[in-house]
Amino acid sequence: MATQSDQVSSTNTMRQLPKLPISIIWMISFGFLGVQMAFALQSSNMGRIFQTIGADPNSLGFFFILPPLAGLIVQPIVGYLSDRTWIPKLGRRVPYLIVGALVAVIVMCLLPNSGSFGFTAVVALTFASVTILFMDVASNVAMQPFKMMVGDMVNEEQKGFAYSIQSFLSNSGAVLASIFPFVLTLLGVSNTAPEGVVPRSVVVSFYVGAVILVICCLFTVLKVKEYSPAEYAAYHGIKLNAKKEKVSMFALLRKAPKIFWTISLVQLFCWMGFQYLWTYGTGAIADNVWSTTNAASAEYQTAGNWFGILSAVQAIAAVIWSLVLSRISNNHHKPWYAISLLIGAIGFGSIFFVESQNLLLVSFFCIGIAWASMMMFPFTMLTNALSGENMGTYLGLFNSSICIPQIIASCASFALFPLLGSSMPAMLLVSGVLLVLGALSVSVVKETYIR
């Protein structure tokens, strides 16, 4: 069996990427668990934090524009620069991982304390908005290298497995992050606070997540050795000593394979749907189950904890389903992708009708099935169609298919939310419709492969 340290000479002929030991595939992605914990803490608590420190529900969409806007700008830049980076003993992608993780840790400690510094509501919301912007920038910088390393180092045969491992680790991290406030409350940490202040259970959750982020990223940094420029060139058919043509990201977009655009259509509907879950999920559950929309009430904070449990159920379902999907052969990707999204659509739609907190467990299990497919299939399909020369740049650009839908959804919410009677449960019914459209659009995707 070939190992990661196999040396190859740089030739004009592309060499087959070696079959990596399972342990290396795990280590390539292990830091993903910590980064996704940061994202999960953000997504499951962001609506709760902003409403707690004084945000009007009608303006929530504004605060949810900033994170995807950061990703839209940062990830293509990280991809472009890391394609052209090589630092001895660190590598091509790892330097960006280190910087992103360090900055993420700092802002994770600041964000939940936005209401604790004695600011007025307006200043606190502004501080939280800037902090969430930096948190998302840092998390995006730290996250993208993991996806790029799979494209760099893993062969076509193992790539689906590698992305399923990322999905598994991502959702395992999400489980831990989502249940933190609930568990800490059971352990006696306060789940209420003065008006405008985020409860201690949420603040401590972010501290724990920051520590785990550092530990997980260290595993990848210390255990994974990226291919040297000579190895990378040989495995990806690149002339090592040839003068590198300067190609703009816009020029690369014009040359992007068709599947880049067809998967982006599917992504448009799916990520719009999930954006409404993160924006209105806590409020929808508080309204339907606890009959409250008052963010200062104990019932609302209890609903916030339960939304964390439901998010954990979603992540557990995604872990289980990602293991199922890892066994799907290439020629069956599309039907399983579409079916998974349809199941997720049922989960979203049911939230509008369900008033039992326990029945919501089923709803979120279905949503987790859709989430697993969204974490695995798009990147597997795309990287199979890409050569290695601009892999990082294309993956960074492809992140736009995640960020732009979220921005569109947030902007649309300013008109849609009042139109639906300012009903947060109704916004999740819209999410269900969007995932149905996503499932139908899978039919336009045609997979291609670089041999």
Provide the residue ranges of all domains of the chain, joining segments of one domain with +: 22-236+248-444
Please answer whether residues 54 and 377 qualify as being in contact, where contact means their C-beta atoms are separated by less than 8 angstroms: no
Residues 185, 200: Cα–Cα separation, whole Å: 9
Contacts of 2 (CB under 8 A, 6+ apart): 18, 19, 20
Q: Which region among 49-58, 109-118, 243-252 has the lowest average model confidence (pLDDT)?
A: 243-252
| Mean of per-residue pLDDT scores for the chain | 86
Helix (H) or strand (E) segment spanning residue 106: helix 94-110
Categorize the per-residue pLDDT at 40 as very low, low, confident or very high, splitting at 50, 70 and 90. confident
CB atoms within 10 A of CB 232: 22
Q: Which region among 137-146, 212-221, 399-408, 425-434 has the lowest average model confidence (pLDDT)?
A: 137-146
Categorize the per-residue pLDDT at 388 as very low, low, confident or very high, splitting at 50, 70 and 90. low
Q: Looking at the chain, how many residues does it have?
A: 451
* 8-17, 49-58, 131-140, 353-362: range with highest mean pLDDT: 353-362
Say if pTM beats, i.e. exceeds, 0.85: no
Burial 67-105 (b: 16+ CB within 10 A, else e): bbbbbbebbbbbbbebbebeeeebbbbbbbbbebbebbb
Assess if CATH 3.40.1030.10 describes domain 22-236+248-444: no
pLDDT for residue 391 is more than 80: no
Span 196-233, pLDDT tens digits: 899 999 999 999 999 999 999 998 888 888 888 888 88
Span 286-326, pLDDT tens digits: 999 999 988 888 899 999 999 999 999 998 998 888 888 87
Residues 113, 173: Cα–Cα separation, whole Å: 22
